[in-house]
Amino acid sequence: MSTFEQIFQGLGAWGWWFSGILLFGVEVLVPGTFFLWFGVAAILVGVVNLIEPLAWQTNIILFAVLSVISVIAGRWFMRRRESAFGDPGLNRRGSRYAGHIYVLKDPIVSGTGWLSVDDTVWQISGPDLPAGTRVLVEGVEGVRLRVRQAD
| pLDDT tens digits for range 23-38 | 999 999 987 778 999 9
Instruction: Report pLDDT for 40.
Output: 95
Instruction: Report pLDDT for 77.
Output: 84
Q: In Å, what is the CA distance from 132 to each residue of 61, 123, 139, 149? A: 70, 16, 20, 11
Which residue(s) pair with 101 in the sheet? 136
Q: What is the pLDDT along the chain (151 residues), one digit of tens a residue?
A: 678 677 766 778 888 999 999 999 999 998 777 899 999 999 999 999 999 988 888 999 999 999 999 999 988 887 776 655 556 666 677 778 888 899 999 999 999 999 988 888 999 999 999 999 999 999 888 889 999 998 8
Domain range 93-149, CATH architecture: Beta Barrel (2.40)
* Secondary structure (3-state) at 98: coil
Domain boundaries, the chain: 3-85, 93-149
Rounded to whole angstroms, how far apart are CA atoms 128 and 69? 58
Q: Are 49 and 59 in contact (CB under 8 A)?
A: yes
Q: Is the pTM of this model over 0.85?
A: no
